[in-house]
């Protein structure tokens, strides 16, 4: 989880190559553990036990709001907290995704601001691929 979080801080063009490198390294670590490394097998067994306990207990692991803390909480409790947060802060579901419209508006504004922003730098301020809204 920490690796993915760090990768998301990188430039979007670099994210996928780093994900591939991480996957290769994790595969190497996993394979080295299968070649007689008792400690790696023991850790893998412990992780499976933890995962089973989380699944049977209907719990989950999450990052706490503040600090660098990891917490374990019941899934239904987490869901109810998220729902109450959304209700209390007046979040609502949009009927139509405004991302493409906003992207066109932003592009138009950037093109018109050529006295403030150099035209060669405008392309670096725009999302290249299909932008999408957060879930």
pLDDT digit string, tens, across residues 94-131: 888 888 888 888 888 888 887 787 877 777 777 777 77
> What is each CA distance from 14 to 7, 18, 58, 121, 124, in whole angstroms?
8, 6, 36, 19, 15
Confidence bin at 10 (pLDDT 50/70/90): confident
> CA–CA separation, 100 vs 132, rounded Å?
8
Confidence bin at 35 (pLDDT 50/70/90): low
Say if residue 62 is exposed, middle or buried (CB neighbours under 10 Å; 0-12, 13-18, 19+): middle
pLDDT at 66 over 70: yes
Which has more confidence, 36 or 122? 122
- Kindly give the interhelix angle for 12-33 and 38-56, rounded to the nearest 10 degrees: 110
Own/partner pairs, 51-57, CB within 8 angstroms, 24+ separation:
none
Helix (H) or strand (E) holding 30: helix 12-33
pLDDT at 17 over 80: yes
**Which residues, at least 6 apart from 16, have a Cβ–Cβ distance to it below 8 Å?**
none
What ranges do the domains of the chain cover?
Answer: 1-40, 94-129
> CA–CA separation, 83 vs 102, rounded Å?
27
Beta bridge partners of 73: 60
Q: What is the pTM of this model?
A: 0.45
């Amino acid at each position: 989880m920490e690796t993915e979080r760090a990768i998301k801080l990188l430039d979007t063009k670099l994210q996928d190559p780093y994900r591939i490198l991480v996957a290769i390294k994790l595969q190497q670590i996993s394979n080295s553990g299968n070649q007689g490394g008792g400690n790696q097998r023991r850790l893998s067994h412990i992780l499976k036990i933890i995962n089973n306990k989380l699944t049977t207990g209907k719990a989950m692991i999450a990052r706490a709001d503040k600090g660098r803390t990891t917490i374990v909480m019941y899934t239904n409790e987490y869901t109810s907290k998220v729902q109450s947060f959304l209700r209390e802060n007046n979040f609502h579901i949009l009927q139509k995704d405004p991302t493409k419209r906003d992207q066109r508006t932003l592009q138009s504004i950037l093109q018109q601001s050529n006295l403030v922003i150099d035209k060669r730098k405008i392309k670096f301020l725009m999302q290249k691929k299909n932008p999408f809204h957060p879930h």
